[in-house]
Amino acid sequence: MPLDAQQRLRLRTRHAELLVRGGTVLTPNGAETTDIACVDGRIAALDATGWSADETLDARGLHVLPGVIDSQVHFREPGLTHKETIEAGTRGAVLGGVTAVFEMPNTHPLTLHEADLNAKLAIAQAQAWCDHAFYIGGSGVNAEQLASLEMLPGCAGVKVFMGSSFGDLLADEDAVLRRILRHGHRRMAVHAEDEARLRERRSIAETLGHVRNHPVWRDIESALRATRRIVALARESGRRLHLLHISSAEEIEFLAQHKARVTVEVLPHHLTLSAPECYERLGTLAQMNPPIRRARHQEALWQAVRNGVVDVLGSDHASHTREEKALPYPRSPSGMTGVQTLLPVMLDHVHHGRLSLQRLADLTSAGPARVFGIEGKGRIAVGFDADLTLVDLAARREITNRWIASVVGWTPYDGLRVTGWPMATVVRGRVVMRDGELSAAPAGRPVRFLGQAMPMQPSPHPGDSR
């Protein structure tokens, strides 16, 4: 993007809108203590000696990560705003150190057409605290249009539900999946559970009647069968896949053999909670699809994180009200909050030595940028968006329901004490959160993707100089 006269003047006079001073910065070359100069929403210089600024952010004693990208959230708007909204969901995101989110298509109406996407973008333009993109649902009703739909500005790509969905969004037949796979080129995100097997086995959940049996009903074979099917079908068309929320050792073993075409996401929930303890302690608050499984599966997921089979960490933030979750199992809905707790929970794992901070940054920043072809995000480097997440690795905090911004106001981690905490969130050079307080108005913009047309830029928000 060419520089305008004001931008050229700022660079020539070494004047920034924001200087981030004295932090330990995770650059592509590793961690180094340096300053970051932000001009017109982008990183203009590292080691910003001699720069002046409109605003300075003191990062001494903090680590500065590339802005965290949560590539799987369900913010329920439009149509289900008693569970979540784009405003509340993105507010929770920035309070948790997240600078961009990709939102899922299972809203009312479903996100299947250009008008559905544009309706969400219009809501986000006025209300989103962070940058954002929205998936188009892959379906039998829009399969032949997907190649053009996936290239619309603000579209994160195509999401397919092989199970755990309803109506036009459910794509469980091979013939429909083949049509979807043939129409488009971007990497396709998939929820892989075998719907036919889930229907056959639902009587298990109804007969046993306790959420501890959720992973018995939605067993490993349900996930593995769907995963094998979609990988085989994608091979026919040459399509690349992104397999979401992998939960079992068997899936990991299979997917490790297909990394040339398939990328893998895991969730903090599956890395942190384990059966049967979580079901006894949390009841249906621990109910999600695919389920939290036993320790051997968690151990396999951690090994996959360490050896590079896993590419991305997402939260799968999918909130339901307490009243809905209190319904007798299996009438209780699956899903839990997660966007706000993704980083604190994973920083605690860093503290306990389960992964390095550099690996965490790769899974939450560079990884999503590689997988989805994000333009200008995912690393701290000159010319990239000035998206920064500042964390205190020594800060000790307690995650509580009171802290959660979600409309539903609860987290499965209520009462969990963690070490490591997000202290500031910078979105395109704007300090949006500092020390747990919001410090700017909502001004999120659509995420840019390689090969897409540039999205229309919204009018500047009050107080936003860009």
Token output for 262: 């398939």
Cβ proximity of 109 and 78 under 8 Å: yes
**At which residue do the structure tokens 């997917």 appear?**
255
In whole angstroms, what is the distance from residue 102 CA to residue 70 CA?
Answer: 6
Nearest to 103, CA basis, from 68, 126, 70, 150: 70
Written as one string, the DSSP assignment of 159-213 is EEESSS--GGGB--SHHHHHHHHHS--SPEEEE---HHHHHHHHHHHHHH-SGGG
Buried b (16+ CB within 10 A) or exposed e, 218-236: bbbebbbbbbbbbbebbee
Give the 3-state secondary structure of residue 389.
strand
Token output for 74: 């369900």
Catalytic residue among 316, 348, 362, 392: 316
**Known catalytic residue at 316:** yes
Cβ proximity of 302 and 271 under 8 Å: yes
In whole angstroms, what is the distance from residue 130 CA to residue 318 CA?
Answer: 18
What counts of helices (H) and strands (E) characterise the chain? 16, 18
Q: Find how far residue 385's CA is from the centre of its chain.
A: 18
Cα three-residue angle 28-29-31, rounded to 5 degrees: 95
Q: What's 381's DSSP letter? A: -
Cβ proximity of 364 and 313 under 8 Å: yes
| Catalytically annotated residues | 316
